[in-house]
Amino acid sequence: MAEKRDYYEVLGVSKDASDAELKKAFRSLARKHHPDKNPDDDDAERLFKEVQEAYAVLSNPDQRSQYDMFGHDSPGGSPFGPGGFQGVNINLDDLFSGGFDSIFSGLFGGGRASRGRRGHDVLLRHSITLEQVFEESELEITADLSTACDSCDGTGAKTPDDLQHCSTCDGQGRIMQQARVGPFVQQMVSDCPDCGATGRIILNRCSDCRGTGASTNEQTLRINIPRGTDDGLRLRHRGKGEHITNGQSGDLYIQLDIDPHPWFERDGPDLVMALPLGYPEMMLGTQVELPHIDGDSLVISVPPGSKPSETIIVQGRGMPHRRGRGRGDVTILLKLHIPEKFNKTMLSTLEEMRPSFGLPTSDIEDAVRREAQDRRN
Ligand SMILES: [Zn+2]
Ligand SMILES: [Zn+2]
């Protein structure tokens, strides 16, 4: 197998290259050897991977100094783990936009660095009205949340002396185990069985929290409702989730559920509603006034000769756009209202109207044709 090339040589930069120089060199080489540009080219694929590996190591300050000291024979073995560098999937667009940085920063330390214990995330759902998302607003929410127990300061121990460092894991909560699999020695990190992964041993437990270190308290949270927010938005409150001893608290998510409006449906920034009108109102036209979410009344002008299933659009009276200025529209769908019950007077009036407003059955075929034509145009 060919000797592994020096990372600086791979990127074509000097040993004291700056971060910007490294990035520039990586970007141009990665573009050149990208598989999308060199389909079915094994050489290009190998070079692409080589460039990635070199950049992954040199763009990480810890890894770079390690490499400067030991070269490819770092005492800890390959920084990428026993399998060596596996290559990462970067698309060409990311190479132009710089979206690849996070891919490389996530490569090291995964699995080896103990992230410690973490409490569960908690989801709280809160109902708000459409009016409340019309303007950016603040809201106070009171909820029972998990916090550190007051009596023991979240330690779970009766007194500070009841709290001891776990000697099995040296307070780490995790232990390294070696397992022999054939000729190989495998190292595994697992939770310490003696302290339940907490790194601590409690001799006498706090009676208030029974050693959990957590208690539930009513808390008031201030939340900010963004203007024009969508249904189901989740706001995160870091560290307000489940509290655990000797670990990181989980996060609290507050989900904003928007109650259905009595008549509006929402379509992004637009509002949609149906308006029932009687036959005379459709024929003669009318003006309708409704209370509206912005506090002013919504005036809908129905022109004479309107037809059912036609729409009227009132511009700029919908919901505010989430980004930028302005508001969406209100779309009003016209529906024909037919009374449920008729009395004799109504029926005789209609009978009188029939000759002038009705559609004689003899003309029906023509009318059907015209309707189809209009519909298709
Ligand atoms: Zn332990
Ligand atoms: Zn306690």
Cα of 244 vs centre of ligand 1, distance in Å, is: 16
Provide the residue type at 114 as one letter.
S
Question: pLDDT tens-digit profile of 253-302?
Answer: 899 999 999 999 999 899 999 999 999 999 999 999 999 999 999 999 99
User: Which ligand ends up closest to the CA of 215?
Assistant: 2
User: Which ligand ends up closest to the CA of 158?
Assistant: 2
Residues 166 and 201: their CA atoms lie apart, in Å, by 6
Cα of 199 vs centre of ligand 1, distance in Å, is: 4
Q: Which residues contact 134 (CB under 8 A, 6 or more apart)?
A: 227, 228, 293, 294, 319, 320
Among residues 175, 172, 159, 176, the alpha carbon closest in space to that of 200 is found at 172
Cα of 69 vs centre of ligand 2, distance in Å, is: 49
CA 116 to chain centre: 25
Residues 11 and 54: their CA atoms lie apart, in Å, by 7
Residues 228 and 328: their CA atoms lie apart, in Å, by 10
Neighbours of ion ligand 2 (CB under 5 A): 149, 151-152, 206, 208-209
Residues 298 and 303: their CA atoms lie apart, in Å, by 16
pLDDT at 103: 67
Structure tokens that stand for 27 in this block: 């970007």
Structure tokens that stand for 300 in this block: 């809908």
Residues 3 and 12: their CA atoms lie apart, in Å, by 17
Per-residue pLDDT of the chain (377 residues; tens, 9 = 90+): 467 899 999 999 999 999 889 989 998 998 899 888 888 888 888 898 899 899 988 988 888 888 888 888 776 667 776 667 777 777 777 776 666 766 675 566 433 334 567 888 888 999 999 999 998 889 899 989 999 999 998 888 999 899 888 898 888 888 887 777 777 777 777 888 888 888 888 999 999 998 888 999 898 999 988 888 888 888 888 888 988 887 788 889 899 999 999 999 999 899 999 999 999 999 999 999 999 999 999 999 999 999 999 999 999 999 998 877 899 999 999 999 999 998 999 999 989 988 888 888 888 999 999 999 988 98
Q: Give the 3-state secondary structure percentages of the chain, helix then strand then coil, rounded to 5.
A: 25, 30, 45
Structure tokens that stand for 299 in this block: 């005036």
Strand partners, 301: 287
CA dist list (Å): 275 to 130, 155, 312, 344: 19, 62, 10, 27
User: Which ligand ends up closest to the CA of 156?
Assistant: 2
pLDDT at 117: 72
* Cα angle 252, 144, 122; round to 5: 25
What structural domains and CATH numbers belong to the chain?
A: 7-105 (1.10.287.110), 122-258 (2.10.230.10), 265-376 (2.60.260.20)
Secondary structure of residue 259 in the 3-state scheme: coil
Quick check: 179 and 185 in contact, CB under 8 A? yes
Quick check: 209 and 151 in contact, CB under 8 A? yes
Cα of 191 vs centre of ligand 1, distance in Å, is: 8
Strand partners, 270: 267
Strand partners, 207: none
CA dist list (Å): 103 to 32, 52, 56: 19, 11, 9
pLDDT at 114: 41
User: Which ligand ends up closest to the CA of 206?
Assistant: 2
Q: Which residues contact 298 (CB under 8 A, 6 or more apart)?
A: 289, 290, 291, 292, 314, 317, 330
pLDDT at 270: 95
User: Which ligand ends up closest to the CA of 201?
Assistant: 1
User: Which ligand ends up closest to the CA of 159?
Assistant: 2
